[in-house]
Amino acid sequence: KATPKAVKALGEALLEDEFWGTQAEIAKVLGSLKSESALEWLLKATSVKSTKARTAVARALGQFFKNDKAFEALTKLLEDQESYFVVSAAANSIGKTQHDDAFEILSKFLKNCPSSWHDIIEIGCLQGLAATEKEEVIDIAKQYLKLGTSDWIRRNIPGILATLGKRYKKDHPEIRSILENSILDKSYRVQQFSISATSKYEDASLIPALSKLAERAAE
């Protein structure tokens, strides 16, 4: 457990160090502490100059479960105008806090999500929604697996559905067939991410689809 003196030293370094890499590592450490004093320093750091450091701060704030202060700060970071990465990390972390208002905020944000490099903001928002562990996210995620959606987004959906599908397997057996189809998807990126997703879903009935993909690769 970090002493108050140690936390203060870390907090001051987070605000004052000139190298973003050092700031990012400090933010990660402060987030892992999950203490009120660590949170206060992270809140002060939401406006540090480096966008890479702010991204790390946004990620660290996701460690504060159902915390109103962290949630409010992350919501403000959704408005960051300098970096797609800051906004994406903030959206993801909002979900991880599992704050009572997280699902509502992210659902609204997703509907008017700004365009971004490789759709990183939408991906962060979808991952944040998944982190809320709400059953309603399943139907939202399904819509983003349809052909015509950016592959950068589509490749992330199998993992989201696998995680939520395992949690709600009894009420959503259709996710197994969705994963079977995504394993054999036309997109190589979707295939690769779907393979990883099967380990999250943990269902032996997906083995035939994996075997079929392996046979195709060997041809």
List the structure tokens of 166. Answer: 């395992």
Mean pLDDT of the chain: 96
- The count of structural domains within the chain is 2
User: pLDDT band at residue 1, thresholds of 50, 70 and 90?
Assistant: confident
Domain hosting residue 123, numbered range:
1-134
Cβ atoms of 151 and 118 within 8 Å: the answer is no
Render pLDDT for 48-58 as a digit per residue (tens, 0 to 9).
999 999 999 99
Q: Are residues 58 and 123 in the same domain?
A: yes
Which structure tokens are listed for 68?
């109103």
Residue 12 has pLDDT above 90, yes or no: yes
120 and 159 in a single domain? The answer is no
pTM strictly above 0.85: yes
Residues 33 and 112 in one domain: yes
Q: Are 10 and 45 in contact (CB under 8 A)?
A: no
Mind listing the pLDDT tens digit for each residue in 117-155? 999 999 999 999 999 999 999 999 999 999 999 999 999
Domain boundary among 74, 107, 134: 134
11 torsion bin: left (phi>0), alpha (psi -120 to 50), beta (else): alpha
* pLDDT for the residue 219: 66
Q: Is the pLDDT of residue 169 over 70?
A: yes
Q: Are residues 124 and 214 in the same domain?
A: no
Residue 50 Ramachandran class (φ > 0 left, ψ -120 to 50 alpha, else beta): beta
| 109 and 196 fall within a common domain | no
Q: Are residues 149 and 48 in the same domain?
A: no
- The pLDDT of residue 87 is 99
Q: Is residue 200 packed enough to be buried (19+ CB in 10 Å), middle (13-18) or exposed (0-12)?
A: middle
